[in-house]
């Protein structure tokens, strides 16, 4: 399988090199040369476990690695570390070490990258630059911890993540990981990382130091492809539980920020999975809702800090990959749109793309709606959800009311409610005087008769290793400072 850039201008490259580079030199995102139609063959494996299903799907994209290497990567990533559970219509993706759906990809990506580095005979150290709105950071730090030849630097928005999310990152161990808070929001962090990737002079300086840059964000295709798996797994579980018939279409409902999660669902459909519509669920940063309803993407607005911080994003990077497919892979058009976004903060897609977007429905939820929904779902279904999942549930209800479409749905549940104790307790009208998050974990546990996830329970006892801060325009200097401190050839 070869990979190409959404912005053209380069020759096809191997899957292994696409994973290592993360992003094309011209700023484009790597996509597979084609998507194999696998549904008819793979549905006979619908009783298989998650590791077995992952192997069948992932090997379609990474043939260069060979079957044994892929199996080894999957086993090291997932065995006894990660589970996916279907609870009624909710696909719970947070049963991993960091209690967020990012574990599904970021446990596997480090293993794939290690094998790719060996296969491509890369001698340079690979430095992973990652911007996070909350969950990607800790998942990357955990997945890449002490991986030979790879270092990780995570940038997160100061005051833009939950206390638990911040502590998960600041207490991270490993001789090859570093965490930096930036004075700004997620878009500032993501833009800073992208600018560094596109700075050829800076990359030459790093190259002279024996360093190659890569990414663990969903702009890296090696991060995105593993996410396809859980849509097949969720669908097959619905069939196995007799919630749907084999080959019956479903709708998927995805809380959406950077557009990677819902894009993985779209890729699954291109590979044959019977998905009818995609409900793109946003919080009050509803740039995607507006885009899907009007055809204009406009980031020129104030970022709102919400109780679903992983979705507090105004520039959804993976939308570029969707537009590439819906434009019949017109790289010139994608360049035009992305240049317009960079220069004017907006673009408007043509009528052909708007017509091809009809299977995507954009809805958004307010903070008040999120609070009410968390409370209502607990009282009516005895089921506790986090704010991001609540956004998805609300948007599904709005979609249902507008369309009357009673197609069975799969709602993606992206994080443990214990990562957002203050928001969840406030939603349940539980008053508290103590703002200590660990006391609030216990309070939420008692209120809902649920066990606190073990890694969160132990978080309070861990020492803080990372306290660095910088401004968004100082990220390049901070990287140099960090690299001078991290040991070489770990």
- Phi/psi for 394 (5° steps) reads -60, -45
DSSP string, 20-69: HH-S-TTS--EEES-----HHHHGGGTTS-HHHHHHHHHTTT-GGG-HHH
Give the span between the Cα atoms of 315 and 287, in whole angstroms.
Answer: 8
Distance CA 208, CA 202 (A): 10
Query: Which one of 60, 83, 102, 358 is the catalytic residue?
Result: 102
Non-local (6+) Cβ contacts of 481 within 8 A are none
DSSP codes of every residue in 166-183: HHHHHT---TTEEEEEEE
Closest CA to 64 of 121, 99, 17, 128: 17
- Nearest alpha-carbon partner for 345 in 297, 310, 311: 297
Decide: 448 and 416 in contact? Cβ < 8 Å: no
DSSP letter at 99 equals S
Tell me if 128 sits within 8 A of 152, measured CB to CB: yes
The SS3 of residue 309 is: helix
| Catalytic residue list contains 207 | no
Two structure tokens written together for 111? 């293993």
Cα 35 vs. chain centroid, distance in angstroms? 20
By C-alpha distance, which of 69, 72, 41, 68 is closest to 57? 41
Tokens, residue 15: 């899957």
End-to-end Cα, the chain, rounded Å: 31
**Are the C-beta atoms of 80 and 251 separated by less than 8 Å?**
no
Cβ–Cβ under 8 Å, residues 110 and 10 = no
Q: What span, in angstroms and rounded, lies between the C-alpha atoms of 31 and 133?
A: 24
CA distance linking residue 419 with residue 226, whole number of Å = 23
Residue 119 makes CB contacts below 8 A (sequence gap 6+) with 16, 64, 65
How many Å apart are CA 425 and CA 417, to the nearest integer?
Answer: 10
Is there a contact between 327 and 272 (Cβ–Cβ < 8 Å)? no
Q: Residue 173 contacts by C-beta under 8 Å, 6 or more apart in sequence?
A: 145, 465
Q: Are the CB atoms for 268 and 228 separated by under 8 Å?
A: yes
DSSP helix/strand/coil, 290: helix
- Catalytic residue list: 102
């Amino acid at each position: 399988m070869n990979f190409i850039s959404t912005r053209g201008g380069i020759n096809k490259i191997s899957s292994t090199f696409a994973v290592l580079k993360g992003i094309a030199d011209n700023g484009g995102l790597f996509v597979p040369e084609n998507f194999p139609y696998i549904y008819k063959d793979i549905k006979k494996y619908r009783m298989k476990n998650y590791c077995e299903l992952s192997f069948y799907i992932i090997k379609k994209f990474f043939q260069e690695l060979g079957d044994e290497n892929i199996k080894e990567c999957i086993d090291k990533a997932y065995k006894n570390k990660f589970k996916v559970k279907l609870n009624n219509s909710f696909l719970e993706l947070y049963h991993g070490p960091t209690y967020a759906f990012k574990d599904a990809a970021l446990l596997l990506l480090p293993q794939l990258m290690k094998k790719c580095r060996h296969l491509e005979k890369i001698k340079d150290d690979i430095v992973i630059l990652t911007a996070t709105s909350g969950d990607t950071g800790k998942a990357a730090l955990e997945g890449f911890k002490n991986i030979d030849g790879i270092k990780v630097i995570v940038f997160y928005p100061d005051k833009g993540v939950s206390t638990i999310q911040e502590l998960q990152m600041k207490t991270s161990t490993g001789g090859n990981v570093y965490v930096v808070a930036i004075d700004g929001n997620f878009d500032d962090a993501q833009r800073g990382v992208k600018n560094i990737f596109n700075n050829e002079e800076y990359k030459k300086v790093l190259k002279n130091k024996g360093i190659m840059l890569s990414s663990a964000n969903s702009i890296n295709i090696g991060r995105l492809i593993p996410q396809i798996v859980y849509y097949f797994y969720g669908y097959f579980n619905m069939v196995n539980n007799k919630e749907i018939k084999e080959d019956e279409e479903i709708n998927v409902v995805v809380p959406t920020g950077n557009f990677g999660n819902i894009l993985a669902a779209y890729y699954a459909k291109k590979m044959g999975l019977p998905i009818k519509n995609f409900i793109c669920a946003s919080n009050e940063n509803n740039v995607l809702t507006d885009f899907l309803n009007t055809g204009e993407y406009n980031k020129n607005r104030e970022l709102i800090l919400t109780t679903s911080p992983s979705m507090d994003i105004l520039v959804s990077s993976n939308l570029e990959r969707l537009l590439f497919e819906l434009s019949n892979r017109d790289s010139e058009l994608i360049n035009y749109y992305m240049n317009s976004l960079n220069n004017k903060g907006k673009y408007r897609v043509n009528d052909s793309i708007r017509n091809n977007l009809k299977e995507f429905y954009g809805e958004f939820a307010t903070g008040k709606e999120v609070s009410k929904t968390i409370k209502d779902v607990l009282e009516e279904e005895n089921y506790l959800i986090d704010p991001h999942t609540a956004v998805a549930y609300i948007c599904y209800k709005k979609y249902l009311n507008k369309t009357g479409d009673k197609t069975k749905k799969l709602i993606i549940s992206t994080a443990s409610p214990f990562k957002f104790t203050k928001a969840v307790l406030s939603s349940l009208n539980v008053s508290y005087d103590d703002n200590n998050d660990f006391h609030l974990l216990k309070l939420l546990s008692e209120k809902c008769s649920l066990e606190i996830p073990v890694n969160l329970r132990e978080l309070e006892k861990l020492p803080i290793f990372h306290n660095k801060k910088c401004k968004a325009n100082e990220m390049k200097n901070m990287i140099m400072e960090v690299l001078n401190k991290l040991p070489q050839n770990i």
